[in-house]
């Protein structure tokens, strides 16, 4: 048979295969897939034709070029869990649930060679690799994640915007319940409860960990985040610093998913999400992220939580990038950008977010260098708990929205406050000594959510353009 005839037959087979394939994992939207390069899209297309739709993501295919040992999350048919454990030789294996395993295995046992893939495509005879076993439904890389590090730590004794001042800014005292009855899971570096400031109510703040330790925050990141949400009233000895959480009556479950260096992995974050679902929380708040591909086990876990009616909030990132990091970039997640106290977009904030809140120079109690005191941090990590707390305040006043994340997202976008500095009609230049660039974007507004919620009809999207910001950043200017 001539080579040209073989090619024609192969193309015909490829055209026929999709009808026989089934989608084995959640499929991100086209918007998320846009983050993939053209080369990766071609690789993903080929993988879908060979193994089934989204069974083997691009980053799994690339493993053989990067590492000898693959760190993976694998989903299998529930009735074949024992077969899976017996059919392969693992370096490590941990069962997460009935269908999900965390494994470490020789990379050569993951995906067959290109020739082996073509052979499998034509014959459907598996050759001992994970990708070709019929009861293996999806294979994912266990990506590394991290707490988004604060952009800057203020000088000692320097005070920024306190949570007490943010309560006034957002009109939190107008809330009679302030998060009462609402449960928030904070997936972060833990919490430091035993402190002299007595900034956490142990009847409202509970400690969990999925990283095999005591759940105590030794980084300071998680403590700062939780202080913003439901910290007790605390005051410095000289009375110059007063702090209190924006949803002081909310119940917070601190779930430590990141280690004492502020880093972790998808596996632990997935465990944290599953624990949050078991705790029947209303909101999951994540001030963490990474630049990872769209087809991941974490994406599926988030979609499961979203489908159960949990509102998911995540930080957009501090890289000055045009798009948020994952998981903030994904469907069903409220992505949060950062503002300064004047409503100006923080110079470090990633763009493309759903809503913004004050995240620059935020002062709250937290652990820092083994001392628990008032600390000032900047980052979308600080803006994220502000949004989570305001949502909790709203839900406690309007419980009919509990379990309806899509409606809450729509309401937040439509009631955002656009009274912050708007787009300039005339662009000023550095030559004249002016360098004030302001842009239009929604700042979360608790008062608008409360006032306008009966009048707002849910919608999927609110159009926002960040092209002007992107242009100026390309020119080296930060708004």
Catalytic residue among 40, 59, 71, 188: 188
Element at 336 (helix H, strand E) = strand 333-339
Helices 266-278 and 297-307: angle between axes, nearest 10 degrees: 10
CB 367 within 8 A of CB 223: yes
The question of whether 188 is a catalytic residue gets the answer yes
CA 308 to chain centre: 17
Instruction: Tell me the C-alpha distance between 298 and 69, whole Å.
Output: 21
Query: Under DSSP, is residue 450 helix (H, G, I), strand (E, B) or coil?
Result: helix
Choosing from 102, 221, 265, 410, which is the catalytic residue? 221
Q: Where are the beta strands (DSSP E) in 142-217?
A: 144-147, 161-162, 183-188, 205-209
Task: Point out the catalytic residue in the list 199, 349, 381, 445.
Answer: 381
Torsions phi, psi of 199, nearest 5? Answer: -85, -5
Among residues 166, 159, 168, 230, which one has the least CA distance to residue 377?
159
Q: In what order do the strands lie in the sheet with 161-162?
A: 161-162, 362-368, 371-377
Give the span between the Cα atoms of 253 and 191, in whole angstroms. 10
Contact 298, 266 (CB under 8 A): yes
- For the beta sheet containing 283-286, the strands, ordered from the edge strand earlier in sequence to the opposite edge, are 205-209, 251-256, 183-188, 283-286, 311-315, 333-339, 355-358
> Count of alpha carbons within 13 Å of 177, Cβ hemisphere only?
17
DSSP 289-317: EB---S--HHHHHHHHHHHTT-EEEEE--
Residue 221 annotated among the catalytic residues of the structure = yes
Provide the annotated active-site residues.
188, 221, 381
């Amino acid at each position: 048979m001539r080579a040209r005839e073989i090619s024609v037959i192969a193309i015909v087979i490829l055209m026929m295969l999709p009808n026989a394939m089934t989608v084995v994992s959640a499929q991100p939207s086209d918007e998320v897939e846009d983050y993939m390069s053209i080369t990766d899209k071609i690789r993903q297309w080929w993988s879908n034709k060979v193994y089934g739709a989204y069974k083997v993501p691009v980053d799994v295919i690339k493993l053989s070029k990067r590492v000898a040992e693959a760190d993976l999350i694998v989903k299998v048919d529930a009735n074949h869990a024992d077969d899976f454990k017996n059919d392969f030789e693992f370096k490590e294996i941990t069962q997460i649930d009935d269908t999900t395993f965390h494994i470490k295995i020789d990379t050569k046992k993951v995906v067959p060679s290109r020739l082996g893939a073509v052979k499998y495509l034509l014959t459907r005879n598996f050759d001992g690799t994970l990708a070709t076993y019929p009861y293996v439904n999806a294979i994912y890389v266990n990506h590394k994640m991290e707490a988004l590090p604060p952009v800057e730590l203020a000088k000692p004794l320097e005070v920024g915007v306190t949570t007490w001042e943010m309560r006034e800014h957002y009109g939190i005292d107008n809330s009679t319940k302030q998060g009462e009855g609402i449960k928030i899971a904070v997936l972060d570096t833990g919490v430091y409860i035993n402190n002299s400031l007595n900034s956490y109510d142990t009847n409202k703040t509970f400690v969990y960990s999925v990283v095999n330790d005591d759940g105590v925050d030794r980084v300071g990141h998680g403590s700062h985040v939780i202080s913003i949400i439901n910290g007790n009233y605390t005051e410095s000895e000289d009375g110059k610093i007063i702090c209190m959480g924006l949803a002081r009556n909310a119940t917070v479950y601190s779930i430590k998913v990141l280690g004492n260096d502020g880093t972790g992995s998808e596996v632990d974050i997935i465990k944290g999400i599953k624990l949050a679902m078991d705790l029947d929380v209303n909101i999951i708040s994540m001030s963490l992220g990474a630049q990872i591909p769209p087809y991941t086990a974490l994406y599926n876990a988030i979609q499961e939580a979203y489908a159960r009616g949990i509102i998911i909030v995540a930080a957009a990132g501090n890289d000055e990038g045009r798009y948020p990091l994952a998981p903030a970039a994904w469907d069903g997640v409220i992505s949060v950008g950062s503002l300064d106290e004047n409503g100006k977009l923080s110079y470090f904030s990633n763009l493309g977010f759903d809503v913004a809140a004050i995240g620059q120079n935020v002062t709250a109690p937290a652990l820092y260098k083994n001392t628990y005191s008032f600390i000032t941090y900047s980052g979308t990590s600080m803006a994220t708990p502000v949004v989570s707390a305001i949502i909790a305040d709203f839900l406690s006043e309007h419980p009919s929205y509990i379990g309806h994340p899509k409606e809450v997202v729509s309401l937040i976008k439509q009631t955002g406050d656009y009274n912050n500095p708007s787009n300039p009609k005339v662009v000023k230049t550095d030559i004249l000594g002016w360098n004030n660039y302001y842009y239009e974007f929604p700042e979360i507004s608790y008062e608008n959510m409360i006032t306008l919620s009966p009048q707002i009809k849910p919608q999927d999207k609110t159009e926002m353009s960040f092209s002007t910001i992107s242009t100026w950043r390309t020119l080296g200017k930060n708004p």
